[in-house]
Amino acid sequence: MPQTSSGRKQHSGGGGDHSDATTAQKSLQQRSRIIRLPDESDKKSQSKRLKDVEISVPIVYGTIAFWLGKKASEYNSHKWTVYVRGATNEDLGAVVKRVVFQLHPSFNNPTRVAESAPFELSESGWGEFEIVISLHFHSDVCDKQVDLYHHLKLYPEDDTGHQSIKKPVVIESYDEIVFFDPSEACFARLQNHPAVNFAKLPNGLSISPAVFIENVSEKRGDTKDHPLSQWFLNFSEADELLKLAAARQQVQSHIIRVRRQLSLMDGPPQ
Q: What is the pLDDT of residues 120-162, one digit of tens each?
A: 999 999 999 999 999 999 988 888 899 999 999 999 877 566 7
For CA atoms 185, 189, 195, 200, give the dihedral sign. Answer: positive
Cis peptide bond prior to 268, omega within 30° of 0: no
In a domain, 215, yes or no: yes
In a domain, 142, yes or no: yes
In a domain, 127, yes or no: yes
In a domain, 16, yes or no: no
In a domain, 87, yes or no: yes
In a domain, 9, yes or no: no
In a domain, 7, yes or no: no
Domains of the chain: total: 1
pLDDT tens for residues 217-239?
A: 445 677 777 778 777 877 655 56
pLDDT tens for residues 85-103?
A: 998 888 999 999 999 999 9
User: In the prediction, which pLDDT does 82 show?
Assistant: 98
Residues 6+ apart with CB under 8 A from 142: 34, 36, 179
Across the chain, what does the average pLDDT equal? Answer: 76
Domain membership of residue 77 as a residue range: 23-37+49-266
Residue 211 has pLDDT above 80, yes or no: no
Q: Do the Cβ atoms of 238 and 29 come closer than 8 Å?
A: yes
Single out the residue of 208, 138, 222 nearest to residue 177, CA to CA: 138
Residues 6+ apart with CB under 8 A from 52: 181, 200, 201, 202
Q: Do the Cβ atoms of 128 and 154 come closer than 8 Å?
A: yes
| Residue range 26-49: mean pLDDT, rounded | 48
Q: What is the CATH number of the domain that holds 170?
A: 2.60.40.1970
| Residue 71 dihedral angles phi and psi, to the nearest 5° | -80, -5
Q: Kindly indicate the confidence band of residue 15, based on its pLDDT and cuts at 50, 70 and 90.
A: very low
In a domain, 125, yes or no: yes
Identify the three-state secondary structure at position 36: coil
